[in-house]
Amino acid sequence: MPALPARRDFLHRSLALAAAALLPAAEPDEQVIPFLDSRPFDPTNPRLPWEQTTSWLTPLEHFFWVGHYGYPEVDPAAWRLHIGGLVRNPRVLTLEQLQSRPKTELTLTLECSGNPPAGGLVGNGRFAGTPLAPILEECGLPPEGIEVVFFGADRGSEKIRGGEYPQQFARSLAVSDARRPDILLAWEMNRQPLTKEHGAPVRLVVPGWYGVAWVKWLERIEVQDRRFMGRFMGRDYVTIRGEQQGPGAVWRETSVGRMNLKSVVARVTRSPGGVVRIAGAAWSDGASIGGVEVRIDDGPWTPAQLSEGRDQPHAWKFWSLDWRNPAPGEHTLISRATDASGKVQPAPEDPFITLKKTYWEANQQAPRKIKV
């Protein structure tokens, strides 16, 4: 490893910055230090195994999936996308027609809104498809249309106010969001056709939003003149959060949407020389990551070095920090990210977290424990 510049030698407890192109794979003479709070990897229930993560792009075998009404088998040859509701020119598109349109590929971080603070329900992938906005324009958006609703092929039954009704998984976007140029109707992931678990043949891709908005097995799009309030929009994926005002709190229910600023300590390795490298990832709803700091035990917050991905607004950024001469024993590592506007990832004791009464959108700082 190159010698560190002399001007950094003053850092408390001999912490020093080190740039890295990615979370480095352990060399034959390096040792991965396991987290004391890690869980075994289960290939039948994929979750990102942070300690094995070395690539900026998450391989498919490590990419999480979530289903709400099962995982439907959809025949690509028979698949049709129906676009209707209040549009002036309803359309029905085949997969071949969709794939004949201009193709866009984006590298994006996808996170489940129920992902724990240092959980593995997150990944970074390449998603390719065609932009939604031109299709909506061709279909003709009426001035009274306020929401675009996306329906998947997965179906179930729901009890609503004393009745039982057949339902499809569905989520909506405001028209202004649906017209963003980076919203895709995607058929590829990591340059491979989508698998059944990831929504084949076509899924919605919404950069900067939690995965619940990325509707899988997409088969119908409707423009409406009023709010859509299905189970997964208005009743299930809802965050209940209080805000202290005077002696009491004001409580709000908000539908899960855009991702919150977040970082995690992802991987720790030790070189033969005793240097411990702490590495991790940070992401947000598209706001630029301004920096990441790391705290070891009760020490000071120390800046880490951001690396690959800084030019991809909706993809995670990797960061790393070298820790020299750590004392033997157990240690607690924690990171916090700051975006370009100055917003800071909240601490567990921050009211933004303590007054949140549902587990969705958990973005608090996540302590990780290791033993050196």
Same domain, 101 and 28: no
**pLDDT tens by residue, 194-233:** 999 999 999 999 999 999 999 999 999 999 999 999 999 9
Pull the structure tokens for residue 68.
């709400």
343 within a domain of the structure (yes/no): yes
Query: Do 42 and 119 belong together in one domain?
Result: no
| DSSP code of residue 314 | T
- Which structure tokens are listed for 183? 């919203």
CATH number of 72's domain: 3.90.420.10
Q: Residues 213, 285: one domain?
A: no
Contact criterion met (CB below 8 Å) for 322 and 350: no
* Domain identity same for 213 and 190: yes
Residue 298: domain span: 6-55+257-371
Q: In the predicted model, is pLDDT for residue 146 greater than 50?
A: yes
Model confidence pLDDT, tens digit, residues 85-115: 999 999 999 999 999 999 999 999 999 999 9
Specify whether 217 is located in the same domain as 289. Answer: no
Does the residue 214 lie in any domain? Answer: yes
Task: Judge whether residue 80 has pLDDT over 70.
Answer: yes
> Is 247 part of a structural domain of the chain?
no
Last residue of a domain, one of 236, 268, 301: 236
Q: Does 93 lie in the same domain as 148?
A: yes
Is residue 31 located within the same domain as residue 76? no
Residue 185 near residue 106 (C-beta atoms within 8 A): no
Task: Mark whether 318 and 358 lie in a shared domain.
Answer: yes
345: in domain: yes
Residue 243 in domain = no
Amino acid at 278: I
Q: What is the pLDDT, as a whole number, of residue 28? A: 62
Same domain assignment for residues 100 and 223: yes
Burial pattern 179-195, b for ≥16 Cβ within 10 A else e, equals: beebbbbbbbbbeeebe
Give percent above pLDDT 90 in the chain.
84
> In this structure, is residue 248 part of a structural domain?
no
Domain-terminating residue out of 173, 202, 236? 236
Given a cut of 70, is residue 185 above it in pLDDT? Answer: yes
SS3 readout for the chain: CCCCCHHHCCCHHHEEECCCCCCCCCCCCCEECCECCCCCCCCCCCCCCHHHCCCCCCCHHHCCCCCCCCCCCCCCCCCEEEEEECCCCCEEEEHHHHHCCCCEEEEEEEECCCCCCCCCCEEEEEEEEEEHHHHHHHHCCCCCCCEEEEEEEEEEEEEECCEEEEEEEEEEEEHHHHCCCCCEEEEEECCEECCHHHCCCCEEECCCECHHHCCCCEEEEEEECCCCCCHHHHHCCEEEEEEEECCEEEEEEEECCECCCEEEEEEEEECCCCCEEEEEEEECCCCCEEEEEEEECCCCCEECEECCCCCCCCCCEEEEEEECCCCCCEEEEEEEEEECCCCECCCCCCHHHHCECCCCCCCCCCCEEEEC
Number of domains in the chain: 2
354 within a domain of the structure (yes/no): yes
Examine the domain organization and report whether 101 and 49 are in the same domain. no
Provide the CATH number for the domain around residue 270. Answer: 2.60.40.650
Average pLDDT over residues 146-152: 98
Residue 309, domain member (yes or no): yes
6 band by pLDDT with thresholds 50, 70 and 90: very low
Q: What is the mean pLDDT of residues 22-48?
A: 75
CB 336 within 8 A of CB 263: yes
Angstrom distance (rounded) from CA 370 to CA 32? 11
CA distance 198 to 46: 12
Residues constituting the chain:
372
Range in 13-17, 271-275, 341-345 with the lowest mean pLDDT: 13-17
Q: What is the mean pLDDT of the chain?
A: 91
Same domain, 79 and 228: yes
Q: Which of 132-141, 146-155, 308-317 has the lowest mean pLDDT?
A: 308-317
Question: Do 73 and 42 share a structural domain?
Answer: no
